Structure 1
Amino acid sequence: MQRLILKIAVLGALFVAALLLGNWYFKDKNIHVKRMEDFREIHRSNDSVDILFMGNSHAYNTFFPLIFDRKFKTKSFVLASGAQKLETSLYLFEKEVLSRKKLPELLVLEVNHMNLEGYKNDNQKLGQYQVYDNSSLDLQAIENLGNIFGRKNLVASTFPVVRNHNNWTEVNPFNASYAFTNVNSYYKNGFVGFQRELKPNNLDGSLRSEISNDGKIELIAPKIPPYEITLPPAAKRDLSEFIRLCKQHNIKLLVVTAPYFQILNGKSSELASFLEQEEVSYLNFTDSLSSLNLRLNDFANKGHLNFKGAKKASNWLAAQIENSFELAGREGSDTYEQYINRYSQTVLNSGSLSACDYYNEPNHQIDPNRKLNSIGILKESDDHIAVFFDISYQAFQRDNYRVRFTYNKKDRFYLSERAKKLGSFEENFEIQGIAKRQGDRILLLQRNYVPLKSISKIELIQKGKGPVFSINGPFE
């Protein structure tokens, strides 16, 4: 009998271990993993966050913490994920923020029609895994997942290894470390920032012909159909709980609605009225478009601001916070100095990186008019790769070129089926900025979303011609 009990106990322990290991391997992997780890690392190092931004992708693409840190001498962080609903933000706030010894002085909560209204499609539901998969399981998480995916799907939604059973054949136990990204993200403060620009030909109908690349948003907004941001009962309940918790823990609260191109003519009277009754400050960016001085090319797409737009929005919001809130700041703190010194003024002022390592000096003629003088690769982390091509900027038409990455076979887990078959994938140039090196212009390609441990080859591809330059790695 004792042997039977021992066998059952051993088998049970093995089952639990396999389940935990499987969940660890198959959990949702994305940039939010790094954001969560960066946030936790701040507190593990006995530091804290002074200004916390929460919301969905509009939060981590709109609010550039360095702008606020420079102005208020604080440490700021964006704790947000794509498609993150208000109920998920509330769970994250209680789980990851209120459990800390030192709490934020100010919470900036970004709300919009996407995270206030109910789930419109399955993709919005799946987006919640970014938070729940990367948090320790508890009863509140199980209840929330049951509400989102239904009780009959509770096991699959709770355990990544179950819902990803179709991918079990992809598991390589000898390369388990490749299932996870390096936690050293680029800014280490939750901000991402798009580099591309919205163009008139990306717009619908008459807007396409009426608007120029640098068209003023305040003039474009009236041409967009009006939209009323509603406050459903569930969102009102969650917002009320945010308000209660902030008051209870003496955290200042500011609710904002960031610019969203498709609803630039959006109103939020119900939301504004509710927050006014609760005596909570609220700012809808679309009410101040003339002050923001946004233009079409400050947007990355029909939803989000790009890096340039984020700097404008962050500077504007910082001015509003200065007028409405008194923040202690931490000027003179060694922790602050170490934090802020990681970034050069070049990043703040122009979005450029100021240095990189050069692996080759090819002096390569890519066509009769263009010579590639040098190339540099900066791989700060698994999901940040910058490739610098030293080419005359004026002569280089970036729309005519792509960059092809040949990846290490161990990285197959992350890539699309097409990329897996080809053994490589291509990227358009997305210029974050132009850095100077001995008077030369250097173009920068930055990647953020596909984590890669190693790259075996990088090629410059000219449309209609094929590879015009290649450099062999490995780049790790």
Structure 2
Amino acid sequence: MPAWIKYTISVFSICTVLFLGLNKAGELARPQDFDSDVWTNYYAEEDNTINTVLIGSSSMYRYWIPTQAYEEQGYTSMLIGTAAQDIRLAPYLMEEAAKTQDLDLFVVEVRSIIIRGDVTKIKDEHYNYRMEVMTSGMRPSSTKFEMIQKYYRADEKSKFELMFPILKYHDNLLTFDRQVLIDRLNQGTDEFKTGRQRAKITKIKEPVFESDGQLHLSDETLGYIDDIEAKAEELGVKVLLVATPYYPSRGQASKQLQLDEYIASKGYDYLNMNNVLDELNLDYSTDFYNSKHVNIAGAKKVTTYLAQYIEDNYGLQSKLTDEQKQSWTDACDAWADEECSLMAEWEKYKKENE
């Protein structure tokens, strides 16, 4: 073998080791925030074992319990859900998710268009923080690079640091408790398969959706839905758009109706769960923790309905071997204990509110 080829191989090998080392160090240094764990939890799942990925903000992850859906319908799911998630990022998250899993379906929450309004008006510091946390556990890739370049509101130096989190968060390696680093080094799959519910109860009014006669959503905003559909088609994966139950302001109700009309005109697969409230059997005095999110009791009802809807319309089939099923059995057992604790807390809130 010529010397120049040996040299090239050696340089490439060294660069690869350095790249992998930087990536691993970045994972260890990422912020201590559940949202920073979303991607590391996802990557920890064995390749090609997940049927569907649910993408969105708290309007998605507070409503869906992956272990419950698995027990009731037999298919696997994971949440790529982060607080205040910008819907414009969904196509990039879909692309990244499809790299390690042979997915049958994306479920994308669209209510963030209604609740967050014009994302360009959100203060840079608030917008950037949520994006920093969400991407900190994401592997370096062209997908991540393009997303950061397009939407991260910072100079090129800051964008480069976000691409390789060790550059941004290296001080954490010195300040984190030693046990945090050990736990991250030994991190396996998420104990609850990304379930994250709350027990608190807030009584709310039954929602009313009426138009105020105005068009609040711009063509650009509605185009975000088209971007999601285009990415799903490019990836060859079906996509279901979902709006979860909430109590809207008058303006939000009008936006919701405008969004519903647009999606219907396009013929996209869409489930607005605010239109099936009787079937959901939600109790507005006990099943929400604020006007925009359900608690554990509400999440159980929503999960049962949505899991059945997905099964009826997409017929997902389990990809798991007997050995792989054990991971989900363990997660279901762990969640059973967590749910018991949450429901006991929920019962206390219920008695206090009576």
**TM-score (structure 2 length as normaliser):** 0.73
The corresponding residue for 1:134 is 137
Inter-partner Cα distance in structure 1 for 2:226 and 2:139: 25
The corresponding residue for 1:277 is 265
User: Could you say what secondary structure the match of 1:341 adopts?
Assistant: helix
Inter-partner Cα distance in structure 1 for 2:195 and 2:259: 26
Which of 288, 306, 309 lines up with 1:320 in the alignment?
309
For residues 95-114 of structure 1, the aligned pairs below 5 Å read: 95-97=96-98, 99-100=99-100, 103-112=102-111, 113-114=114-115
Q: Counterpart amino acid of 2:110?
A: V
**Any idea what the Cα deviations from partners look like across 1:378-398, whole Å, max 9, x if unmatched?**
xxxxxxxxxxxxxxxxxxxxx
User: Could you say what secondary structure the match of 2:310 adopts?
Assistant: helix
Inter-partner Cα distance in structure 2 for 1:74 and 1:176: 33
**Any idea what the Cα deviations from partners look like across 1:235-267, whole Å, max 9, x if unmatched?**
444432321232344422210111234549624
The corresponding residue for 1:433 is 343
Inter-partner Cα distance in structure 2 for 1:253 and 1:20: 30
Residues 292, 178 of structure 1: alpha-carbon distance in 2 compared, 3 angstrom cutoff: closer
The corresponding residue for 1:185 is 190
**Any idea what the Cα deviations from partners look like across 1:341-377, whole Å, max 9, x if unmatched?**
33259939x931xxxxxxxxxxxxxxxxxxxxxxxxx
Inter-partner Cα distance in structure 1 for 2:19 and 2:46: 29
Question: Does the 8 Å CA contact 2:49/2:319 hold for their aligned counterparts?
Answer: no
The corresponding residue for 1:75 is 76
Inter-partner Cα distance in structure 2 for 1:126 and 1:141: 16
User: Could you say what secondary structure the match of 1:128 adopts?
Assistant: helix
User: Could you say what secondary structure the match of 1:330 adopts?
Assistant: coil
User: Could you say what secondary structure the match of 1:195 adopts?
Assistant: coil
User: Could you say what secondary structure the match of 2:279 adopts?
Assistant: helix
The corresponding residue for 1:196 is 200
Structure 2: gaps of 5 or more residues = 1-10, 349-354
Q: Counterpart amino acid of 1:53?
A: L
Structure 1: gaps of 5 or more residues = 1-8, 199-212, 353-430, 436-442, 445-476
User: Could you say what secondary structure the match of 1:253 adopts?
Assistant: strand
Inter-partner Cα distance in structure 1 for 2:155 and 2:73: 46
Structure number with the higher strand fraction is 1
Question: Does the 8 Å CA contact 1:34/1:181 hold for their aligned counterparts?
Answer: no
Aligned-residue offset at 1:192: 0.6
Inter-partner Cα distance in structure 2 for 1:133 and 1:300: 29
Count, aligned residues: 324
Inter-partner Cα distance in structure 2 for 1:306 and 1:161: 36
User: Could you say what secondary structure the match of 2:80 adopts?
Assistant: strand
User: Could you say what secondary structure the match of 2:307 adopts?
Assistant: helix
The corresponding residue for 1:29 is 32
Question: Does the 8 Å CA contact 1:56/1:84 hold for their aligned counterparts?
Answer: yes
Question: Does the 8 Å CA contact 2:53/2:106 hold for their aligned counterparts?
Answer: yes
Aligned-residue offset at 1:135: 1.6
Aligned-residue offset at 1:275: 2.1
Inter-partner Cα distance in structure 2 for 1:22 and 1:179: 10
Aligned-residue offset at 1:136: 2.2
User: Could you say what secondary structure the match of 1:135 adopts?
Assistant: coil
- Identity across the alignment (%): 16
Structure 1 position 298 matched with structure 2 position 287: yes
User: Could you say what secondary structure the match of 2:49 adopts?
Assistant: coil
User: Could you say what secondary structure the match of 2:139 adopts?
Assistant: coil
Question: Does the 8 Å CA contact 1:85/1:116 hold for their aligned counterparts?
Answer: no
The corresponding residue for 1:260 is 246
Question: Does the 8 Å CA contact 1:28/1:160 hold for their aligned counterparts?
Answer: no
Inter-partner Cα distance in structure 2 for 1:29 and 1:273: 40
User: Could you say what secondary structure the match of 2:96 adopts?
Assistant: helix
Aligned-residue offset at 1:319: 4.1
The corresponding residue for 2:229 is 243
Structure 1 position 154 matched with structure 2 position 159: yes
Structure number with the higher helix fraction is 2
Q: Counterpart amino acid of 2:307?
A: A
Which of 298, 320, 333 lines up with 1:309 in the alignment?
298
> Which has the higher mean CA deviation after the structures are superposed, 18-27 or 104-113?
18-27
Considering Cα pairs closer than 8 Å and 6+ residues apart, tell me whether 1 or 2 has the greater RCO. Answer: 2
Larger Rg computed on CA atoms: 1
User: Could you say what secondary structure the match of 2:199 adopts?
Assistant: coil
Q: Counterpart amino acid of 1:252?
A: K
Inter-partner Cα distance in structure 2 for 1:62 and 1:172: 32
**TM-score (structure 1 length as normaliser):** 0.56
Structure 1 position 92 matched with structure 2 position 93: yes
For residues 224-239 of structure 1, the aligned pairs below 5 Å read: 231-239=217-225
The corresponding residue for 1:61 is 62
Q: RMSD across aligned C-alpha pairs, in angstroms?
A: 4.3
